[in-house]
Each structure stands twice: as C-alpha cells, then as structure tokens.
Amino acid sequence: MSSRQPTLDEVAELAGVSRGTVSRVLNNHPHVSKKALEAVRAAIDELGYVPSAAARSLATQRRGAVVLAISSDDPALFANQFFAEVIAGVNAVIEESDLELLLVMAATERGRDRLTRILQSRGADGVMLLALRENDPLAKVAEGGGIPVVYGGRPLERAPQHYIDADNRGGAREAAEYLIASGRRAIATITGPQDMHVGVSRYLGFREALALAGLPAHRVVHADFSEAGGAAAMEQLLDEHPDLDAVFVASDAMAASALRVLRERGRRVPEDVAVVGFNDIVTAQHTHPALTTVRQPIEALGREMTRMLLRLINDEKPTPLILPTHLVIRESA
Amino acid sequence: MSSRQPTLDEVAELAGVSRGTVSRVLNNHPHVSKKALEAVRAAIDELGYVPSAAARSLATQRRGAVVLAISSDDPALFANQFFAEVIAGVNAVIEESDLELLLVMAATERGRDRLTRILQSRGADGVMLLALRENDPLAKVAEGGGIPVVYGGRPLERAPQHYIDADNRGGAREAAEYLIASGRRAIATITGPQDMHVGVSRYLGFREALALAGLPAHRVVHADFSEAGGAAAMEQLLDEHPDLDAVFVASDAMAASALRVLRERGRRVPEDVAVVGFNDIVTAQHTHPALTTVRQPIEALGREMTRMLLRLINDEKPTPLILPTHLVIRESA
DNA sequence: CGCTATGTTGGGAGCGCTAACAGTGCAGGT
DNA sequence: ACCTGCACTGTTAGCGCTCCCAACATAGCG
C-alpha cells in the first residue's frame, strides 16, 4: 500500500495538463477537450487517484455529508427495530447519491453538544431529525445550523416546514373501525405519550372512529410506548373497565405486553378481548396469538426523508409528505 | 443566524494574539500563558467560534471520523435489532470521544464502491466491519485503506488481527448442556450458515456438549438464520427425526418460527420438545411459550469494537476480545 | 555577568482542492 | 485583412487550519 495518496497535481503532471483542467474533469465541467479529458482519465486510473474529501470541502464550503440525528432519552428506543428500518431506508437513498451518512444519537447532553458542533462547524449539508419530543432542544440546535432540516414524524408543538410522517391518525381510525365492524362495542385504548405527536394522532384517530359510530371512548389509559408501560396500562384498564371487549394499543411493544397480561388474567384473545397494535414490528408475527396491527412504511419513511433532504440541499422546495398506513389482520382481532 | 462562521483569524484578532496561539489553545498545547489562554477563550465565546472540521482535517491529515460498515446481501438483516443494538454500543463510546460516526451499509456493489472511496480519500481514521461472510470483498477493501480495521464477529477464513467476538461456542455448549441436564436425550439442532464463523462456532459448541455426554449428534439441519429457513428446517427435522425431544436453534428468529411449526405439528413446548434459541432478541420474550435462549452482549460488542478501534487509532496494540454469553431461562426449555 | 535552558510567541509555509480570471488559438463574419 | 466570439486552458488566489521555525523573554547556572 502506498502510504501517501496521489494528489491532483500529480495527476495534472502525468496527464500533461494544468490542475484546473483536472479539476474540471473531476467535476464534469463543460469545455474540456476530448483529448485532455482522456489524458486526465488515464492518469487518474494509473495513479489510483481519489480526491481528498477534506480539501474539496474546504474549498467548496460544503461537506458532502448529511446527518441523521436520533433523539431519545430512552436507551431502549435505540435497540428498536424502528430505527434500524429507518436507517435502512435512509441508506438506500444515500447509497445512490454521493453523500456520506453521519449518525448522531443525541441521547445525552454530550450528544446534543456533539450535534451542535457538527452543525456549527459546517460538518454537514443537511440534517434529518427523528423521534422528537415536545420542545426537544435538538430542534433548536438543528434549525440554528443554517442548513436544511427534515423531520421524521412531526414534533408536537408546530408543523415544521419540512417533514415526513406516517398517517398515524388514519391508521388508528382504520384499526378502531375494524374493531367496530367486527362487532366490538366496549373498546378501550392504550395510548402513547401525549407529548408526542404520534401519540396524540393515534389517540385522535381512535376517538374519531368511535365518535362516528356513536360509541363511548372513555376506556383510556395513557402509556409511554414501552413494554412495561403497556403491561401496567393493560392491568389498569382491566381493573377500571372489566367489561372491555377490545383494545387498540398504540404500539406493538405495548400490545405484546398487553397480550401477556390478558392471558395471565384469564381473558382469551380474540374471543373475549380483541387486540390491535400499531407499527407491525417483527415481534407482532410471533406473539401468541399473532398480532393484528397497523403497518406503517418505516423504511419508506427513511427513504422519503432522505429524498426530501436531498431536494432541499439542491435548493428545491418540497412539500410535507404523509405516508399511508394499513391494517394487517392476523389472529388477535 | 450569521451566514458566515467566524474563523480562527478573527478570534486571534479579537484576543490580540496570533493564529498560532489560538490554535495552541484549541488543541490544548502546553506553553500558553494564562493570560493568552483566557483572552482566547473569551474571544471564542464572544464570537461563538467553532473550528472548521474540513480545514482541520486538511491540515492534520486525519479525519476525525470512523466508519461502521455493515455488509449484507440480505436486506432483512438490516431491519434487525442486532444492528440497532450494535450501533447503540458504538455510539455510546463515540459519544465520549470527539469523533464522528460514518455509517456505510454496503449491501450493493455501489455500496462497496462508496466504502472504497471513503477509505481511499482518507475519509475516515478507522473502520469497523460487521457481519462478514466468507471472502467478503469488504474485508479486502477495508484492509487496503491503510487505516485500522476492527472486525465484529470474526470472518470464517482466518482470524483477523483485531476483532471482538461473542463466545458463540461456549454459549452453544451451555445451551446443550442445559438441555442434557434437564433430561433430554434426543437433541437436535438447527444451525446457522456454515460459511459464517458464528454459524460454525455454535454448531461446534453444540456437538462438544453432546459428545461430552456421550449423546449422538446426528439430528442436524443447516439453515440460514432467517425465519423462513428456521421453519423449513424445523419441518425437516420433525420429518427425519420424529423422536426428538429438544432442539437447539442457532438464532432466535429461527427459533420463533420453529416454535410455530412445533405448535402446528401438535408438539407441546416444553413438555414434548424443549427449545433453546440464541441471541435473546426482544421477540424472545413474547413468543409463546417465552423462549429460553443464549444472550450475547450485543451492545457491549459495539462498545468494545469502538474502544478497540480508538486504541488502534491511538497507536496502541489491543488484543482480540471474546465476550461472554449466558443462558436466559424462560419457558421453552 | 555572560551563557544556556526553558517558556512563550508570531509568522510563514503548506495541506489539496475549487473557482474566478485572463489569456490563447481558431473559427466565422464583414 | 480585421475584429468578434467561442472553446479551451493555465494561473492565481484563496478555503481555515496546523505545525515548524525563529525570535524573544526570562530565569537559572557557574
């Protein structure tokens, strides 16, 4: 291995042209003669030349990288399949561009500082933000960076200029409608945190469906998307509303726990109580009974976030996008 | 927001010192007078100065970033909780350093090219490689980059110089020993791919335990870690060895499917057939019955890979590390 | 008191690239 | 023949930082 990489000047010398011409070839500028172009290409091949990213970004003032920032105070969320899928989607688009992907998990104060540093030092050309809670400081950090920002899932307080979201409300409505259509009347729900837009939307969709059917929607326990929270909520629901015959649970992780609690409490699923979850994580296929749930296109979310960011970087003006969800019917409802 | 970031020269001017001195302060060099140091710090605060990453790496010839490269031809693997956990571990260590994390998923040919480019353009100071199959071209790409390389899970063909691995063999042995200790005698196994080190090691540990107990180890079907593969393997096992009273399955994803097949085939778990999986993914807690499995410290794997890489970058000479695994007993065995 | 070790500083020379500018040669129009 | 316009090319400044060297104090030593 050569310890030193060849530079543009060496390519220029070997090709018998000036640095400027080599640079033009590298950046596909017009007005390069065929002869020069070929000579430069040959020289590049011969030397195995690869331009220095650092030098280029110093000269152009852009970085050739975007950051995917994930905010969470809950480490369990990281170990979540959700992020893995989003990342896969992001990567799929990134792979087609010639940008690099910087991953920043800003769980701690330190993490946020790091993100700030990266943004301020012009360390990226754009940011994608995931999983923001209300007034997440990350949002301010990102917006202060002076570079394009795309949100995945909109923050609660206000709709940001650029975001991609799943149709949480519609999905929840569909789930509840399905429960109603299959004859359930005492329908409960375990919601997500009400300080997250996704938690609120799913609750909203649920209530819409019940209201439309003239059904009461008072069987509600708010939880936090976690397994433990889901279990506790299910217990509470059973205590407060022993008559319930269906539960719409705002996340599969909580639904899986709810299933366990129902079994422990002697309720048969779906005979006594129907259960519908949300997200369609892989676990949903392996619960017993298999979980009926609302599928959201997580990978597509990642893909579309990235596409939107690339457009933004390219000075286009994309509009927010809501991705469709749909009900996956298995055994639990 | 100011559209232009302040530069080091402006800091120098405001502080009334030279560029060199500011640079010294920034990099914690000794031999800076207290007075100069304070003046510089004040100027930095006042201007909100953040050094330019690009300029710095051009000057220092290092990038301040490491890459985590994930190789897989199976997109499903991406959506795997495993990667999410590794990433969380990697991030935990990265967060303490002042490096950035570049994520490259090199699924396609294009992805590999990208990785090559990044490495050749000195786009990173080190690489971590995950999930390598036999003769994965990524390995050559990485080693050719002239920068430190750490493997997560060792490739089959040869032990690389620097790697972290889980004790797959020991974990498999422990699982089989547990099955034996609980009185099972007709023990089968569904293995992982035999062209991956992890697949081979788990099979090896299994055979060791059976040999030690004087039990035959001929009830074997090789599979590919996937759910579909696990189901097919379980069917085949049941067809070929209807007498089996226990199965050691080399991954939880396969084990979850095996559980379903067993139920469909009318075998009770664990009464008729005991099942032990491997990995302890979250799903393992939600299968019915809950899956007894071998837990490997995935997040620790990510952490230790990163620590090792940082040492390497720092010119230390770390030795390979094998992380312990342990059996988590639930209901299926 | 001269002389050396040591701490502290400023200034210059790059790092490898892009981009603006100023040519050069050559075609075509008058 | 002249001038204009165009395609192409070389040259020159930077981009914002680090690092080295020389310069200067200052202090300690004989």
Interface contact B109, partner A, CB < 8 A? no
Is the CB of A35 within 7 Å of strand D? Answer: yes
Residues 6+ apart with CB under 8 A from A154: A160, A163, A165, A197, A320
Which residue in chain A is spatially nearest to B92 when comparing CA positions? A105
Tell me what the mean pLDDT of segment B271-288 comes to.
91
β A326-328/A321-323 pair status: unpaired
Give the pLDDT score at B45.
94
β A326-328/A292-295 pair status: antiparallel
* pLDDT, tens digit, 9 for 90 and up, residues B299-326: 999 999 999 999 999 889 999 999 999 9
Burial of A244 (0-12, 13-18, 19+ CB in 10 A): buried
CA of B55 to C1' of D8 (A): 32
Which residue in chain B is spatially nearest to A113 when comparing CA positions? B95
The alpha carbon torsion through A84, A85, A89, A91 (nearest 10 deg) reads 20
Which residue in chain A is spatially nearest to B124 when comparing CA positions? A53
Does domain A8-51 fall under CATH 1.10.3720.10? My reply is: no
Instruction: Name the token pair of B245.
Output: 């009273």
Q: Where in chain B is the domain with CATH 1.10.260.40?
A: 8-51
CA gap B254, B233 in Å, rounded = 9
Give the pLDDT score at B207.
98
List the 232-291 stretch of A: residues with Cβ below 8 A of B.
253, 256, 259-260, 282-283, 285-288
Instruction: Name the token pair of A72.
Output: 């969470």
User: What number of other Cβ atoms are within 10 A of residue A305's Cβ?
Assistant: 28
- Mark the nucleotides of strand D covered by protein, meaning any atom under 7 Å from a CB: 7-21
The alpha carbon torsion through B175, B176, B177, B181 (nearest 10 deg) reads 100
Q: Find chain B residues with C-beta within 8 A of A113's C-beta.
A: none
Give the pLDDT score at A3.
56
Which residue matches tokens 């936090």? A224
Instruction: Assess contact for A148 and A157: CB atoms under 8 A.
Output: no
- Among the listed residues B110, B93, B156, the one whose alpha carbon sits nearest the alpha carbon of residue B305: B93
Q: Where in chain B is the domain with CATH 3.40.50.2300?
A: 65-165+299-323, 168-295
Strand intervals (E) in B131-279: 149-152, 163-166, 187-191, 220-222, 246-249, 274-279
Instruction: Name the token pair of A157.
Output: 């307080």
CA gap B65, B202 in Å, rounded = 34
Give A153-168 as a DSSP string.
Answer: S--SSS--SSEEEE-H
Helices B8-15 and B34-47 pack at an angle, to 10 degrees, of 120
Is the CB of B19 within 7 Å of strand D? Answer: yes
Hey, what CATH class is B65-165+299-323 in?
alpha beta
Give the pLDDT score at A77.
56
- pLDDT, one tens digit for every residue, chain A (333 residues): 445 789 999 999 999 999 999 999 999 998 899 999 999 999 999 999 999 999 999 999 999 999 999 876 655 554 567 788 888 899 999 988 889 999 998 777 888 888 888 888 888 999 999 876 667 777 787 787 789 999 998 887 777 899 999 999 999 999 999 999 999 999 999 999 998 889 999 999 999 999 999 999 999 999 998 889 999 999 999 999 999 999 999 999 899 999 999 999 999 999 999 999 999 988 898 888 999 999 999 899 999 999 999 999 988 999 999 999 999 999 999
Residues 6+ apart with CB under 8 A from A255: A190, A230, A249, A275, A276, A277, A278, A284, A287, A291, A293, A332
Q: Which long-range contacts (CB under 8 A, 24 or more apart) does A177-182 make?
A: A177/A209, A177/A212, A177/A213, A178/A276, A178/A292, A178/A327, A178/A329, A178/A333, A179/A246, A179/A248, A179/A274, A179/A276, A179/A333, A180/A209, A180/A210, A180/A213, A180/A215, A182/A274, A182/A333
CATH code for the structural domain at B168-295: 3.40.50.2300
Q: Reduced to 3 states, what is the DSSP secondary structure of residue A321?
A: strand
